[in-house]
Structure 1
Amino acid sequence: MNHKRHHRGRRKKKKGSLASGLIFVIAVFVFCVSAFQLFKIMKGYYDGRSEYDKIRKLAVTESDNGDSEDDFRVDFEELLKINPDTIGWIRFTPEPSEISYPIVQTDDNETYLKKTFSANENTLGAIFLNAGNQADFSDRNSIIYGHRMKDGSMFRHLQDYEDKEFWEANPCFYIYTPDGRRITYRIFSVGQVEDTSDTYLTSFASEEDYLAFLDMTRQTALYDTGVEVTTEDTIITLSTCTSASDNHRFVVRGVKEEECVPDYDEE
Structure 2
Amino acid sequence: MARKKYHRGRKREKKKSNLILNMILVLALIVFAVSAYQLFGIIKGYMDGRNEYEEIRDLAIESSGGDDEPEGFRVNFDELLAVNPDTIGWIRFSPEPAIINYPIVQGEDNEEYLHKTFSANENTLGAIFLNAGNSPDFSGRNSIVYGHRMKDGSMFRHLQDYEDQSFWESNPYFYIYTPDGREITYHIYSVGQVEDTSDTYLTSFASDEDYQAFLDMTKEISLYDTGVEVTTEDTIVTLSTCTSASDEHRFVVRGVKESEVNLNQ
Give the TM-score range, shorter chain. over 0.9
Contact 2:67-2:94 at 8 Å conserved across structures:
no
Q: 1:184 to 1:66 in 2, by over 3 A?
A: closer
Shift of 1:63: 4.0
- Equivalent residue number for residue 169 of structure 1: 170
1:130 Cα offset (Å):
0.1
The answer for the alignment partner of 1:97 in structure 2 is 98
Tell me which residue corresponds to 2:190. Answer: 189
Q: Does the alignment pair 1:208 with 2:209?
A: yes
| Identity in percent | 72
Q: Which amino acid aligns with 1:259?
A: E
Return the letter of the residue paired with 1:196. T
1:81 maps to amino acid: A
Structure 2 SS opposite 1:202: coil
Give the gaps of 5 or more residues in structure 2: none
In 1, are the aligned partners of 2:236 and 2:255 still within 8 Å (CA)? yes
1:141 is aligned to 2:142: yes
Question: 1:129 is matched with which residue?
Answer: 130
C-alpha distance in 2 between matches for 1:212 and 1:104: 30
Give the secondary-structure state (helix, strand or coil) at the position aligned to 1:110. Answer: coil
Structure 1 residue 45: Cα displacement: 0.3
The whole-number CA distance in structure 2 between the counterparts of 1:58 and 1:116 is: 16
Task: Give the deviation of 1:106 after TM superposition.
Answer: 1.5
CA distance in 2, matches of 1:218, 1:63: 33
Q: Answer yes or no: is 1:16 the counterpart of 2:10.
A: no
Deviation at 1:218? 1.2
Cα distance between partner residues in 1 of 2:24 and 2:104: 50
AA aligned opposite 1:105: Q
Distance 1:238 1:63 in 2: 23
Q: 1:8 to 1:65 in 2, by over 3 A?
A: closer
Q: Which residue of 2 aligns with 1:257?
A: 258
CA separation of 1:171/1:107 partners in 2, compared to 1, >3 Å: closer, same or farther?
same
Q: Which runs of 5+ in 1 are unaligned?
A: none
How far apart, CA to CA, are the structure 2 residues paired with 1:230 and 1:118?
38
C-alpha separation in 2, matches of 1:147 and 1:91: 16
Residue 5 of structure 1 and its aligned partner are, at CA, apart by 1.1
